[in-house]
Chain A
Amino acid sequence: MQETPTAPRPTTLPPSNRPAADPHLPRLALIGNPNSGKTSLFNQLTGLNQKVGNFPGVTVDRKTGMAQLGGQRRAEIIDLPGTYSLYPKSLDEQVIADLLYNPDAADYPDFVVVTVDASNLRRSLLLFSQLADLGLPAILALNMTDLAAERGIQIDLPALERELGVPVVPMNARKGVGVAALRIVMAERLAAPPALRFWEPEGDLLPLVRQIRYYFNLHNDYLALHYAHQFRGLRFLSDDDRAYLLELTEKYKFDSTARQAEETIGRYARINELLLEVVTVTRTEQREPASNKIDKVLTHRVFGYLIFLGILFLLFQAIFAWAQYPMDLIDQGVANFNELLQNNFSGPLVRLLTEGVIAGLGGVLIFIPQIALLFAFLAVLEETGYMARVTFLMDKLMRPFGLSGKSVVPLISGLACAVPAIMGARTIESWKDRMLTIFVTPLMSCSARIPVYTVLVALVVPDESWLGIFNMRGLVLMGLYLLGLVSALVSAFALKKILKARERSYFIMEFPVYRWPRWKNVGLTIVEKVKAFIFQAGKVIVAISVLLWVLASYGPGNRQAQAEAQVQQQAAAQRWPAAETERQVASARLETSYAGTFGHVIEPVIRPLGFDWKVGIALLTSFAAREVFVGTMSTIYSVGQDADLGTVQQKLANEKDINGQPFFTPVRALSLLVFYVFAMQCMSTLAVTYRETKSWRWPLGQLVYMTGLAYAASLLVWQVWG
């Protein structure tokens, strides 16, 4: 390519030529700084009418919803990730550029609603001014007016509207104040982009900008400038487009960093002028904001950590003690329902229903109390602003392990589920910190391990208290969680030595002001997470349960029939009671089934860990997803036992080894527990790691490393104490 092409690239019509009265539903994007109340506003506008998907090609959550506007109109709302400017600093923010810089995109919004923190107008208007200069029709949702008033900030609304050239709606999204007014303003389908410009490329930038504008047929200089800044990250550009832009920027010696700084300073100068006209601050007295006082306690060198530990303790109490009651109810309810069905109907279809479908469904439903409680906790911590303080408190502690304070939230979320946790690691800007966090997060004991832990712990640890206050089972559970945490930190430390940093890591972030949580937001988070669990993980679990039932009920050739005949002969010879015969027959049938054959094949590998072929089946199915373990055990042992369908725990306790002793001894259970602490047994996690890292090296590394660790640890336990 010797010379840069000058003819415009053939494209579709510029956006100004789009049909004016297009019949499609108006589409609007919600955009704003982090902590500007964007999520609250989205929840207020859409309520339960939300969908979570992905932006094309990336895994950034794409939250959309349907909003009822004034005058019986409806609109589709896209909730964009929080950002301080249109120059992306993280993967999350890249999504915004992809959406807003491509007027031909299917998703391109008809207009944007910019949420702005009224108590921090100067900084918030930076983003607004960039959006306005892109030529996007906009509405300014002036949020947190209550906080601004509290701080003696008076905003002249008519003057602000005049200066910005767009409708301004004052509101308090958390309380729902002003939302009705916003709906009415939104219904008036904004057609004209704001006429005012805050900053425009000029001087020596113009030749470059004009060439780009002409080539891509863009409607505005500022958009063309963004192409020059960001062409490397824009996904909708072709390789040829990128090569062209690279050539141009090199030709004009375009210094992106310096130009961005220049622009930002220029914008602030303009915004400061504007604010002089619009804002008056009357300080009644210099008093310290309540948030700062709270910070003195919550980030105190002693109390800060004590309070954090206390909150974690409460979290575990909630998950293990409080959740137990609804879980027992669900467990018992499913067992009763199955018994009812079995007592009244019979036949292979009923057995498929009770032992396959309903048993599997029970394994899904039983998670709901814990997932709901955990996400309720995380949502409250996030809502109140405490999560940011945790990051602050933990940063120095995490750094020796190669992690940052920002890794704490993904790691803690990993206690719920590694899948959203790994996606949550996207807020970590540094590539190395992020990879480390993603790699070790699955070692944190996720909620899918809870049923495995609780069933096995309850089986072998007595329900007694130690020193009168600490429940023994609780202590063992805590030990398992600590084991996961320690292994995550040690693994990160080791990996830190291997991995080379690609760029510098940023830590800087804003502390949100402490607020009471809005229960509506917390509730919506819970609903969203539980729904995602039931419909995504649940499908897999039920499908595998049914598959397992089939595998456990049928066998290759006529081996099952042969084994059954053999047992019948033996029974006749030794005059066994009918119940015993039935039990032996079922056991023989299971052992010769497909699943049993499978378990037998891998038994030599897992025998050194203290496991038999039945556990082997559960381990194998767990590689699809851990939560399948309990369902599998339930299925396997209900096939192996008489028609009495008790709870899983009863079934396991009844299992005897060849000597007639209980099969699950404390050491055997411990070996199995340790295996589950370490092993990578979740296809969804591997899939999400692949999507987040864009490389198979990471998920494969996790699979090999974690499973190897699990095998070694279990081997150690069984060989030393078994």
Chain B
Amino acid sequence: MAFLRRSPRTVAPVPTSSRRTANDLRVGETATVCCLKDPEMALKLLEMGCIPGTQVRLAGRAPLGDPLMLVLGDEEYTLSLRVSEATTIQLKA
């Protein structure tokens, strides 16, 4: 349950706040999901297939910069989510 940064027993290798999140991706850039910060948001993300270890690619942003379009897995499907939601998805360095 290391992806859930909610209880003190979670041991994170680096301070999670300094990690890059899905919101920091450049358009077209691909990265791997490391952990999900917010427990409740995590449930929703997990159900929709955004699991630690999955590849994500920022396919684009809405004209005003928010929400984002994230392509999950190997071009499998596209999620649309707000910046505030994307920042709960932390990426592997």
Contacts and interface: CB of A to CB of B under 8 A. Distances in A.
B47 A85 contact: yes
Contacts of B59: 292, 295
A508 B7 CA distance: 25
A396 B64 contact: yes
B39 A510 contact: no
Nearest to A509: B80
A295 B79 CA distance: 12
Interface stretch (A119-127, A488-496, A614-622): A119-127
B82 A84 contact: no
Contact of B63 (A295, A304, A388, A391): A304
Contacts of B87: none
Given A304-B63, A509-B79, A511-B78, A504 B69 contact: no
Nearest to B75: A289
A304 B85 CA distance: 23
B5 to A, nearest CB: 12
Contacts of A87: 43, 47
Contacts of A123: 47-49, 77
B79 A510 contact: yes
Given A257-B39, A262-B1, A295-B60, 14 more contacts: A87-B47, A126-B49, A260-B43, A291-B78, A304-B63, A392-B67, A395-B66, A395-B67, A396-B63, A396-B65, A506-B44, A507-B81, A508-B81, A511-B80
Given A265-B46, A300-B63, A507-B67, A258 B6 contact: yes
Given A281-B74, A304-B63, A504-B40, A511 B69 contact: yes
Interface in A499-526: 504, 506-511, 513
A397 interface: yes
B74 to A, nearest CB: 7
Given A126-B47, A508-B45, A396 B69 contact: no
Interface string A283-296: 10000110110011
Interface of A: 84-85, 87, 89, 119-120, 122-123, 126, 151, 257-258, 260-262, 264-265, 268, 281, 283, 288-289, 291-292, 295-296, 299-302, 304-305, 388, 391-393, 395-397, 405, 504, 506-511, 513
A394 to B, nearest CB: 9
B62 interface: yes
Given A122-B49, A299-B69, A405-B67, A391 B43 contact: no
A507 B41 CA distance: 10
B9 to A, nearest CB: 11
A299 B44 contact: no
A368 B65 CA distance: 41
Interface in B32-66: 39-49, 51, 59-60, 62-66
Contact of B43 (A264, A295, A299): A264
A442 to B, nearest CB: 27
A506 B85 contact: yes
Contact of B62 (A120, A296, A396, A506): A396
